[in-house]
Chain A
Amino acid sequence: MDMEIIRQYLPLYRDALFLTLRIGWYGVFLALAIGLVCAMIIRFRIPVLRTIVKAYVGLFRNTPLLVQLFFIYFALPKIGIRLSAEFCGSLGLGLLGGAYMSETLRSGLESVAKIQEESAESLGMNRYQAFRFVIFPQAVTYSVPGILANVIFLLKETSVFSTISLMDLMFTAKDLIGMYAKTLECLTLLVIFYLIMLLPVSLLGYVLERRLRHAEFGD
């Protein structure tokens, strides 16, 4: 292992990490927003939209992110929709993640006992108040482990961004190996940087999960 090489490459990996994080987090937030809207549409059985959501979830859960990205980046320009690579990355991640988040939140909502909604309604709350104050907070608690798994999964999926020429971590590693053939150093750095990105997320999620579940289930 050549430490000098590692020192030289560090700034490149650092820049790649920032890019990956930026695109990744926009993607995750988009995924959460889409997931929430979709889960609510299913929950409130909104006609037409409900069918659209089901088709969307089916489409994005059953095709690889790579194919989705290629479609957005290479096929859409053919019909006149031209988007920057970074935007495509976040959009692709958000759409894929939205499908997963929607399923996670939906099952969280279904885990809340029916009697909870009934007792909220018998206190005079309408469906939306019952959702907001009673059902949703409990559903989030149930969904936290799933949401967390999705976030980590999405951040790891950023590794396919290299295929649409985004200089993310994976791209940087492949590029450097191609040019200087320092395979061991490059891949070791790659592993370390993914850990730098994801370990804090796992840890944060663990803390969050414990705090959220505290009220309901105790220590």
Chain B
Amino acid sequence: MDDALLKIEHLRKAYGEHTVIRDLSLSVRKGEVIVIIGPSGCGKSTLLRCVNALESIQGGQILLDGEPVLKNTKDISLVRQKIGMVFQSYDLFPHKTVMENITLAPVKVQKRSKTEVQEEAAALLEKIGLLDRRNDYPRQLSGGQKQRVAIVRALCMHPEIMLLDEITAALDPEMVREVLDVVLSLARSGSTMLIVTHEMSFAKAIADRVVFMENGLIVEESYEPEEFFAQPSTERAKQFLQTFVYEPGEITD
């Protein structure tokens, strides 16, 4: 695949003796939406953190546009500008208003004009229905609103790829939808995304490709999400998907 935007080759990540990702390779084409699923501790969040160079890596390489993504290198902040990331915990800056949260990096890091960025931010906020909250502080927003602002904040940097790390995991169920709707409209508009989620129906709806991970490895990969969720080919994926269906078992006391 020569048109790959992001290339992960033989990635290995370990914390001391404990290996979290072993020999993982993955290519992401421009405009592709990849959903990564798997049990807790399988390394999926760590994978996203490696792609944004928040973690050091112990082997292999990650290339974005052919440039290495590596923690503690001189140009890493330039590379990171091309990668947008949204975290599970609300990570807005609490001392800045919604508007300031969004414009801070484009103005200070990319040196773009403040008015231009504010106009763009306003347009994006309008789209997600939060324009009237632009002068509020994060503490005044609900969890779902904060996550939507976090998405807009990442988008305003014009990233080439977005990494979403369980962005609805900490939300009340009724707020999950408003966030997922925003992500879905991004996907429709052609954004390249790497998404880690536990929302299986959302995964099915949005994914161009589903990647199932376990123990730091890709166990199964499918370009047919519908088919994967209906009939996974590996036993392990089948077991994992089973856990999302609640069937009361025998309780013995």
Instruction: Point out residues on A near B: beta carbons under 8 Å.
Output: 115-116, 118-126, 129, 133-134, 137-138, 141, 215-218
Given A129-B108, A218-B139, A123 contacting B95 (CB threshold 8 A): no
* Beta-carbon nearest neighbor of B91 in chain A: A119
Whether the Cβ atoms of A216 and B139 lie closer than 8 Å is yes
The residue among B81, B93, B139, B153 with the most chain A CB atoms within 10 A of its own CB is B93
Q: Which residues on the A side are within 8 Å of B83 (C-beta)?
A: 122
Q: Which residues on the B side are within 8 Å of A129 (C-beta)?
A: 77, 108-109
Whether the Cβ atoms of B95 and A141 lie closer than 8 Å is yes
Interchain nearest-CB distance for B197 vs A (Å) = 18
* Beta-carbon nearest neighbor of A132 in chain B: B108
Whether the Cβ atoms of B54 and A216 lie closer than 8 Å is no
Given A123-B80, A125-B105, A126-B77, A217 contacting B139 (CB threshold 8 A): yes
Q: Which residues on the B side are within 8 Å of A123 (C-beta)?
A: 80-81, 104-105, 109, 153-154, 157
* Beta-carbon nearest neighbor of B94 in chain A: A216
Whether the Cβ atoms of B95 and A124 lie closer than 8 Å is no
Whether the Cβ atoms of A121 and B77 lie closer than 8 Å is yes
Q: Which residues on the A side are within 8 Å of B150 (C-beta)?
A: 119
The A/B interface has a contact count, at CB < 8 Å, of 71
Instruction: Point out residues on B near A: beta carbons under 8 Å.
Output: 52, 54, 77-78, 80-81, 83-85, 87, 89, 91-96, 104-105, 108-110, 137, 139-140, 150, 153-154, 157
Q: Which residues on the A side are within 8 Å of B109 (C-beta)?
A: 123-125, 129
Kindly state the separation between the CA atoms of A134 and B92 in the bound complex, as whole angstroms. Answer: 10
Interchain nearest-CB distance for A89 vs B (Å) = 36
Q: Which of B78, B81, B91 contacts A115 (CB 8 A)?
A: B91
Q: Which residues on the B side are within 8 Å of A122 (C-beta)?
A: 52, 54, 80, 83-85, 154
Told that A123-B109, A215-B94 touch, could you supply 20 new A-B pairs with CB distance under 8 A? A115-B87, A115-B89, A116-B93, A119-B91, A119-B92, A120-B93, A122-B84, A122-B85, A123-B80, A123-B81, A123-B105, A123-B153, A124-B81, A124-B105, A125-B108, A125-B109, A134-B93, A138-B93, A216-B137, A218-B140
Interchain nearest-CB distance for A210 vs B (Å) = 14
Q: Which residues on the B side are within 8 Å of A217 (C-beta)?
A: 139
Given A133-B108, A137-B95, A138-B95, A121 contacting B54 (CB threshold 8 A): yes
Q: Which residues on the B side are within 8 Å of A119 (C-beta)?
A: 85, 87, 91-93, 150
Q: Which residues on the A side are within 8 Å of B140 (C-beta)?
A: 218
The residue among B54, B80, B91, B140 with the most chain A CB atoms within 10 A of its own CB is B91
Q: Which of A115, A116, A124, A218 contacts B80 (CB 8 A)?
A: A124
Q: Which residues on the A side are within 8 Å of B93 (C-beta)?
A: 116, 119-120, 134, 138
Q: Which residues on the B side are within 8 Å of A115 (C-beta)?
A: 87, 89, 91
Interchain nearest-CB distance for A26 vs B (Å) = 30
Interchain nearest-CB distance for B113 vs A (Å) = 17
Kindly state the separation between the CA atoms of A22 and B108 in the bound complex, as whole angstroms. Answer: 38
Q: Which residues on the B side are within 8 Å of A141 (C-beta)?
A: 95
Whether the Cβ atoms of B157 and A216 lie closer than 8 Å is no
The residue among B52, B78, B81, B94 with the most chain A CB atoms within 10 A of its own CB is B94
Interchain nearest-CB distance for A127 vs B (Å) = 8
Given A122-B85, A217-B139, A138 contacting B153 (CB threshold 8 A): no
Whether the Cβ atoms of B137 and A118 lie closer than 8 Å is no
Whether the Cβ atoms of B139 and A125 lie closer than 8 Å is no
Interchain nearest-CB distance for B29 vs A (Å) = 22
Kindly state the separation between the CA atoms of A115 and B54 in the bound complex, as whole angstroms. Answer: 10
Kindly state the separation between the CA atoms of A215 and B97 in the bound complex, as whole angstroms. Answer: 8
Q: Which residues on the B side are within 8 Å of A216 (C-beta)?
A: 94-95, 137, 139
Interchain nearest-CB distance for B31 vs A (Å) = 21
Q: Which residues on the A side are within 8 Å of B84 (C-beta)?
A: 122
Interchain nearest-CB distance for A115 vs B (Å) = 5
Interchain nearest-CB distance for B141 vs A (Å) = 12
* Beta-carbon nearest neighbor of A138 in chain B: B95
